[in-house]
Amino acid sequence: MKSKDLAARRIEQLSEQIEKHNHHYYVLDKPLISDQEYDQLFRELDSLEKKYPELRTANSPTQRVGAPPLDKFKKHSHALPMLSLANAYSSEEIEDFDLRVKKFLNMPVDQTIEYWAELKFDGLSMSLTYENGNLTVAATRGDGTVGENVTPNIKTIRSVPLRLNGEYPPLIEVRGEILISHADFRKLNDERASADEDLFANPRNAAAGSVRQLDSSITANRPLTGFWYSLGAADDVWRRSLKTQQNILEQLRRWGFKVSSTGELCKGVAQVEKFYNEIQAKRESLPFDIDGIVVKVNSVRLQDELGFVARAPRSMIAYKYPARQETSVVKDILVQVGRTGALTPVAILEPVNVGGVVVSRVTLHNAQEIERKDVRIGDTVVVQRAGDVIPEIVKVVQEKRKSSSVAYAFPKKCPSCGARAVIEDDEAVTRCVNTDCQAQIIETIAHFASKDAMNIDGLGFRIVENFVNRGLLKDSADLYRLQKTDLEHLEGFGEKSASNIVAAIAESKKRALSKIIFALGIRHVGETISKILANKFGDLNALANASETELLEIHEIGPEVAKSVLNWFAKEKNRSMIKKLEQAGVKPESGPKPLSQKLKGLTFVVTGTLSKLSRTQAHELIELNGGSVGNSVTKKTSFLVVGEDAGSKLDKAKSLGVAILTEEEFLKKV
Ligand code: IVH
């Protein structure tokens, strides 16, 4: 058999295996293999597809990493409109619903209807179309008739099957809800906070924002998942074979969808009421947000008979839980200065208990948000804990506003240093333009010393603030110049505590490179990106001198992050701080110790199939000898290492005059 045919067979095998493991990991929560073994399969597939690009299909597991960015989303007309649900808020309203159903079906009122009760997920509704078992379109609800085609984004969600398992009709549309779990939401916001990016108000907003990214590689890095609960357009024969809502869920599960295991067959409304109460008691401890339950007539035949009224099915109703909202009074609005100068307004409230959590401070995000909600000092406001996580002000209670009240004026100057505060082009944040701003310096050094960064024991925010205010520190590197004698006479310090702090600072010199990169506080460079940069560049100087192309060659790094890194290292002040760190003996330990520095400063690209080494082994050898690995051949590539069946990279290297090595020659070099 020709090597290409072999490759095609292997690609199919690998794709199937990887998707099977995605299903076990992301849908069933029961992984069958280790992450490492998974990575190995993935890399093998990726390199085969790179070698034979013509064999790569649109639904290959490798395509889950995102597609090229779009200018805007295409519209998608739903084959069947995506309707909404009528709402009920009390047991009486559920009884009324039950009576309406019976009346419409001409049934005696004392007959019992079978309902299926399930969770009402608080996410973003989504329609998935599968043609011949392949996911071809994913679309948002939009206005119910026309939504947005967000297919590349939804393909990045590992729990969404790209192909259906088992038997399926030629065309089927599946509907459900995209969401982010509480745990993932917290992680995402922590990561954003550490990279000085705006926080999401709640998991729903985070999910919606992530789905509506024009650059699907951003979506790929967001922890989206989903639950699937109904069919849209479906082949008639199939629809009829699924006799109940329960059957639909079972079929969705067989096809490979993530289906909630919480749901109950209820004989009559009393059982619905019981389910509603049981779920309400558990609501706080569920791993994701729900805003109620959905009650569905279980029989599909009866559902069809009941039909629709006012864009909602007569056979279903959302039985909602009351929102966790309370009112409180805004005592003050403070403006905090972050380490990159972002001014964040915070409302200080009369403490109030919202669903079991006492809330006394609520972020107002930015100036526009205050203006939009017209929040003023002295206002009575409705506070809500959306997404169980971050409290927010929903609205002002206008009737309680005093006639003397005046609109809040967002400061035009930095509240810390008095410098100009400006709104940059495409941003919502107001920033203090003064890089010597004391508040920014304090925040930056406190971040540098913090637990996940340099982890300097005992050096908390207040102490940093104290040192900066006394002129002991102008930047983070100054920490390493502090002497016991500088501190022991300060109020609150003695000989012992002064020497403890100095020792803790000295001890931090040997932190890993990734920690130091993170500690620098570069915008958009959180813990994950820091690790990636540390692995790629190996030392601070190499990172400081990285070009935009080198940064963009790293898969996880997009233009925004690259620009932020370049800007940071372009500043003289930061460069001299790095020098000071080096002089102070801050010597990061990065990953595995290099074998040699033989390849220092050289960039290698490997292409084709090598006979003695796998692609990964070759990459490791390059890095262990101090060289760096590139994905594509550019003018900056020092050598192209070629194996058998080398393709377009070889042509490119020849045209650019890049030196070419055989595997033998390469091995001799290392
Ligand atoms: S069935 C005709 N089941 O709630 C719409 N919807 O308020 C039939 N939702 O647009 C939808 N969980 O996005 C159904 N278990 C569930 C649901 C659910 C959340 C959403 C859905 C719908 C909205 C209506």
Instruction: Tell how far the Cα of 265 is from the centroid of ligand 1, in angstroms.
Output: 18
For 238-280, how does the pLDDT look when each residue is reduced to its tens digit (9 = 90+)?
888 999 999 999 999 999 999 999 999 999 999 999 999 999 9
**What pLDDT is attached to residue 1?**
66
User: 3-class secondary structure for 84-144?
Assistant: CCCEECCHHHHHHHHHHHHHHCCCCCCCCCEEEEEEEECCEEEEEEEECCEEEEEEECCCC
Check if 580 is active-site: no
Instruction: Tell how far the Cα of 231 is from the centroid of ligand 1, in angstroms.
Output: 11
Of these residues, 30, 103, 120, 496, which one is catalytic? 120
> Ligand 1, residues 118, 120, 128, 291: which to mutate, most atoms within 8 A of Cβ?
120
Query: What single letter denotes the amino acid at residue 101?
Result: V
The protein residue whose alpha carbon is closest to atom 9 in ligand 1 is 120
Instruction: Tell how far the Cα of 474 is from the centroid of ligand 1, in angstroms.
Output: 55
Which atom of ligand 1 is nearest the CA belonging to 141? Answer: 10
The protein residue whose alpha carbon is closest to atom 16 in ligand 1 is 120
**pLDDT confidence tier of residue 591, bands split at 50, 70 and 90:** low
The protein residue whose alpha carbon is closest to atom 12 in ligand 1 is 120
Higher pLDDT, 310 or 176: 176
The protein residue whose alpha carbon is closest to atom 21 in ligand 1 is 125
**What pLDDT is attached to residue 490?**
87
CATH number for the segment(s) 87-320 = 3.30.470.30
Q: What are the φ and ψ backbone dihedral angles of 660, each rounded to 5 degrees?
A: -115, 135
3-state secondary structure of 475: coil
Instruction: Tell how far the Cα of 204 is from the centroid of ligand 1, in angstroms.
Output: 14
Higher pLDDT, 303 or 238: 303
Evaluate whether the domain defined by 438-508 bears CATH number 1.10.10.10.
no
User: 3-class secondary structure for 331-374?
Assistant: EEEEEEECCCCEEEEEEEEEEEEECCEEEEEEECCCHHHHHHHC
User: Exposed (0-12), middle (13-18) or buried (19+): which is 75, by Cβ within 10 Å?
Assistant: exposed
CA dihedral 175, 181, 186, 191 (to 10 degrees): -60
3-state secondary structure of 531: helix
Distance CA 307, CA 297 (A): 11
> Ligand 1, residues 80, 85, 141: which to mutate, most atoms within 8 A of Cβ?
85
pLDDT at 78 exceeding the cut of 80: yes
Distance CA 502, CA 537 (A): 30
H helices within 426-508, ranges in order?
Answer: 438-449, 461-469, 484-487, 495-507
| Least confident interval from 403-407, 562-566, 630-634 | 630-634
pLDDT at 42 exceeding the cut of 80: yes
Which atom of ligand 1 is nearest the CA belonging to 260? Answer: 15
Query: Is-contact 483 501, C-beta < 8 A?
Result: no
pLDDT at 215 exceeding the cut of 60: yes
With CA atoms as reference, report the closest residue to 479 among 526, 444, 531, 451. Answer: 444
CATH number for the segment(s) 603-669 = 3.40.50.10190
Distance CA 346, CA 348 (A): 6
With CA atoms as reference, report the closest residue to 67 among 213, 231, 210, 267. Answer: 213
pLDDT at 497 exceeding the cut of 70: yes
Q: Model-level pTM?
A: 0.67
Instruction: Tell how far the Cα of 120 is from the centroid of ligand 1, in angstroms.
Output: 6
> Ligand 1, residues 264, 286, 294, 295: which to mutate, most atoms within 8 A of Cβ?
294
- CATH homologous superfamily of 3-65 equals Helix hairpin bin (1.10.287.610)
> What is the residue whose two structure tokens read 């560049």?
537
List the structure tokens of 297: 């007539």
> What is the residue whose two structure tokens read 């401890």?
285
Q: Count CB-CB contacts under 10 A for residue 412.
A: 9
List the structure tokens of 497: 């505590």
Write down the mean pLDDT value for the chain. 90
User: 3-class secondary structure for 272-305?
Assistant: HHHHHHHHHHHHHHCCCCEEEEEEEECEHHHHHH
Which atom of ligand 1 is nearest the CA belonging to 87? Answer: 7
Distance CA 403, CA 214 (A): 45
C-alpha distances in Å from residue 195, one per residue of 528, 534, 660: 10, 16, 40
State the DSSP string of 39-99.
Answer: HHHHHHHHHHHHH-GGG--TT-GGGGG--PPPSSPEEEE-SS------EE-SHHHHHHHHH
CA dihedral 540, 541, 543, 546 (to 10 degrees): 180
**What pLDDT is attached to residue 98?**
97
Our measurement of the distance from residue 48's CA atom to the centroid of its chain's CA atoms, rounded to an integer in Å, reads 29
Task: Give percent above pLDDT 70 in the chain.
Answer: 98
3-state secondary structure of 223: coil
Instruction: Name the range with the highest mean pLDDT among 51-55, 201-205, 644-648.
Output: 51-55
Q: What are the φ and ψ backbone dihedral angles of 224, each rounded to 5 degrees?
A: -80, 145
For 152-162, how does the pLDDT look when each residue is reduced to its tens digit (9 = 90+)?
999 999 999 99
Q: Which fold has domain 325-400?
A: OB fold (Dihydrolipoamide Acetyltransferase, E2P) (2.40.50)
Instruction: Report, as an integer, the average pLDDT of 305-333.
Output: 91
Beta strands (DSSP E) in 500-631 are 603-607, 628-629
Task: Name beta bridge partners: 343.
Answer: 337, 430
Instruction: Tell how far the Cα of 225 is from the centroid of ligand 1, in angstroms.
Output: 16
Query: Is-contact 642 607, C-beta < 8 A?
Result: yes
CATH number for the segment(s) 513-588 = 1.10.150.20
Which protein residues are within 6 Å of ligand 1, measured from CB? 83-85, 118-121, 125, 177, 229-230, 294, 313, 316, 318
**What pLDDT is attached to residue 564?**
94
Instruction: Tell how far the Cα of 84 is from the centroid of ligand 1, in angstroms.
Output: 7
**What pLDDT is attached to residue 668?**
87
Question: In this structure, is the dihedral angle defined by the CA atoms of residues 521, 220, 430 and 561, taken in order, positive or negative?
Answer: positive
What are the residues whose beta carbons fall under 8 Å from the beta carbon of 568, sequence distance 6 or more?
520, 522, 523, 574
The protein residue whose alpha carbon is closest to atom 22 in ligand 1 is 84
**What pLDDT is attached to residue 590?**
56
Distance CA 3, CA 645 (A): 10
**What pLDDT is attached to residue 438?**
95
Distance CA 448, CA 470 (A): 19
Distance CA 532, CA 3 (A): 35
Distance CA 92, CA 110 (A): 16
**What pLDDT is attached to residue 481?**
95
Instruction: Tell how far the Cα of 280 is from the centroid of ligand 1, in angstroms.
Output: 18
CA dihedral 367, 368, 370, 371 (to 10 degrees): 120
**pLDDT confidence tier of residue 589, bands split at 50, 70 and 90:** low
Task: Name beta bridge partners: 425.
Answer: none
For 370-397, how does the pLDDT look when each residue is reduced to its tens digit (9 = 90+)?
999 999 999 999 998 765 567 889 999 9
* Domain ranges (residues) in the chain: 3-65, 87-320, 325-400, 438-508, 513-588, 603-669
Do 438-508 and 513-588 have matching folds? Answer: yes
Higher pLDDT, 71 or 335: 335
For 326-335, how does the pLDDT look when each residue is reduced to its tens digit (9 = 90+)?
899 999 999 9
Q: Count CB-CB contacts under 10 A for residue 371.
A: 13
> Ligand 1, residues 116, 124, 177: which to mutate, most atoms within 8 A of Cβ?
177
Higher pLDDT, 294 or 89: 294
Q: Could you tell me the end-to-end alpha-carbon distance of the chain, in angstroms, rounded to an integer?
A: 35
**What pLDDT is attached to residue 107?**
95
> What is the residue whose two structure tokens read 């963009």?
552
Instruction: Tell how far the Cα of 109 is from the centroid of ligand 1, in angstroms.
Output: 27
Q: Count CB-CB contacts under 10 A for residue 53.
A: 9
With CA atoms as reference, report the closest residue to 336 among 314, 362, 306. Answer: 362
Query: Is-contact 389 184, C-beta < 8 A?
Result: no
The protein residue whose alpha carbon is closest to atom 23 in ligand 1 is 84
List the structure tokens of 628: 């760096």
Distance CA 411, CA 51 (A): 57
C-alpha distances in Å from residue 316, one per residue of 212, 296, 661: 29, 4, 67
3-state secondary structure of 398: helix
Distance CA 156, CA 216 (A): 8
C-alpha distances in Å from residue 526, one per residue of 65, 519, 556, 646: 20, 9, 12, 37
Which atom of ligand 1 is nearest the CA belonging to 313? Answer: 2
pLDDT at 353 exceeding the cut of 70: yes
Indicate the length of the chain as a whole number. Answer: 670
**pLDDT confidence tier of residue 140, bands split at 50, 70 and 90:** very high
> Ligand 1, residues 125, 245, 252, 314: which to mutate, most atoms within 8 A of Cβ?
125
pLDDT at 36 exceeding the cut of 70: yes
**What pLDDT is attached to residue 208?**
94
The protein residue whose alpha carbon is closest to atom 18 in ligand 1 is 120
Instruction: Tell how far the Cα of 466 is from the centroid of ligand 1, in angstroms.
Output: 54
For 13-30, how does the pLDDT look when each residue is reduced to its tens digit (9 = 90+)?
999 999 999 999 899 888
Instruction: Report, as an integer, the average pLDDT of 566-586.
Output: 94
Cα angle value 524/529/534 (rounded, 5°): 130
| Least confident interval from 419-433, 562-576, 617-631, 643-657 | 617-631
Instruction: Report, as an integer, the average pLDDT of 660-664.
Output: 90
> What is the residue whose two structure tokens read 């599909």?
300
pLDDT at 532 exceeding the cut of 70: yes
Beta strands (DSSP E) in 169-298 are 171-179, 225-234, 263-267, 290-297
- Which of 254-273 are b and which e, b meaning 16 or more Cβ less than 10 Å from the residue's Cβ? ebbbbbbebbbebeebebbb
> H or E stretch including 148?
strand 146-149
